[in-house]
């Protein structure tokens, strides 16, 4: 493990981390000969695994009860390991289907959320009525309300659930509203995910350094004066014909 890492590793003041938790993390991020694990592994690391037949299906060395030392750490004090599998979970997700993922943020393509790309077309009430001509007034009003406020992935899922729960809408109207929001709605402009780019004091410096070092280690080759050369083989003209032409 890098000595520089050992020297610089520390915990921030916020959020608060208890001394027990700090000790557990410090014990887990040590070199393999010293980190918190089964003593059988520590002995084997020093003497080698020669002659040991305790391997799993992938050839890795394993020992029975190899988590006992970790489980005995004071951070896990009062944890009922023997009956943990039979205890009710502290949180049970309420899933509507096998592929329900509303507890997670959607991973949208980066360009879909770019601040430089305008999202949606701004519509007034008359525009909505014209686009949804033939639908009942309450459907048109619902569509107008849905596109008033910019949305992100989580809010879009919430809109879908509200539309599905609306008892005054037909299935075809629900499907139309969902498509309407996605096409004419406005996505929220997100801040950069990188914390250095969010901070005004480090944004310019970070961008400059990244631009200067983006292609470090790569060699740029200029295009030949003749331009792009077709790599496919071509029929060559005999030297005698070239001389005759000259």
Locate the domains of the chain by residue range: 3-82, 110-184
The phi-psi region of residue 36 (left if phi > 0; otherwise alpha if psi is between -120 and 50; otherwise beta) is beta
3-state helix, strand, coil in the chain (%, to 5): 45, 0, 55
The pLDDT score that the predictor gives to residue 183 is 85
Residues whose CB falls within 8 Å of the CB of residue 206, separated by 6 or more in sequence, listed in order = 194, 196, 197
pTM to 2 decimals?
A: 0.35
Which phi and psi angles does 187 have, rounded to 5°?
-80, 145
The pLDDT score that the predictor gives to residue 36 is 84
The pLDDT score that the predictor gives to residue 204 is 86
The pLDDT score that the predictor gives to residue 41 is 60
- In order along its 246 residues, the chain shows pLDDT tens digits of 556 777 778 888 888 888 999 999 988 888 877 788 766 665 555 555 455 555 544 455 566 777 888 899 999 998 898 898 898 887 777 877 777 766 665 544 444 444 433 444 678 888 888 888 888 999 999 999 998 888 888 888 999 999 999 999 999 999 999 988 888 888 877 666 677 777 788 888 888 888 877 766 555 555 455 444 444 454 555 555 545 554
The pLDDT score that the predictor gives to residue 142 is 92
Residues whose CB falls within 8 Å of the CB of residue 164, separated by 6 or more in sequence, listed in order = 174
The pLDDT score that the predictor gives to residue 163 is 93
Q: Quick one: how far is CA 211 from the chain centroid?
A: 23
Q: Are 39 and 68 in contact (CB under 8 A)?
A: no
């Amino acid at each position: 493990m890098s000595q520089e890492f050992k020297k610089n590793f520390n915990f921030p003041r916020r959020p608060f981390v208890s001394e027990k938790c700090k000790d557990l993390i410090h014990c887990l991020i040590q070199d393999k000969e010293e980190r918190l694990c089964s003593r059988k592994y520590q002995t084997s690391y020093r003497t080698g695994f020669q002659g040991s037949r305790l391997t799993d299906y992938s050839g890795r060395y394993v020992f029975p009860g190899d988590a006992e030392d970790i489980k005995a750490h004071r951070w896990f004090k009062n944890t009922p390991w023997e009956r943990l599998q039979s205890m009710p979970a502290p949180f049970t997700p309420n899933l509507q289907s096998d592929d329900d993922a509303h507890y997670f943020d959607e991973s949208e393509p980066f360009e879909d959320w770019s601040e430089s790309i305008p999202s949606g077309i701004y519509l007034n009430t008359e525009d909505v009525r014209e686009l949804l001509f033939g639908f009942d007034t309450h459907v048109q009003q619902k569509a107008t309300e849905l596109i008033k406020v910019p949305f992100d992935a989580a809010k879009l899922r919430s809109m879908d659930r509200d539309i599905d729960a609306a008892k005054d809408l037909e299935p075809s109207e629900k499907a139309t509203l969902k498509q309407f929001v996605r096409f004419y709605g406005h996505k929220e402009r997100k801040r950069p995910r990188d914390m250095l780019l969010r901070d005004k004091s480090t944004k310019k410096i970070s961008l400059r350094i990244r631009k200067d070092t983006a292609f470090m280690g790569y060699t740029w080759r200029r295009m030949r004066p003749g331009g792009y050369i077709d790599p496919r083989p071509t029929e060559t003209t005999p030297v005698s014909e070239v001389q005759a032409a000259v």
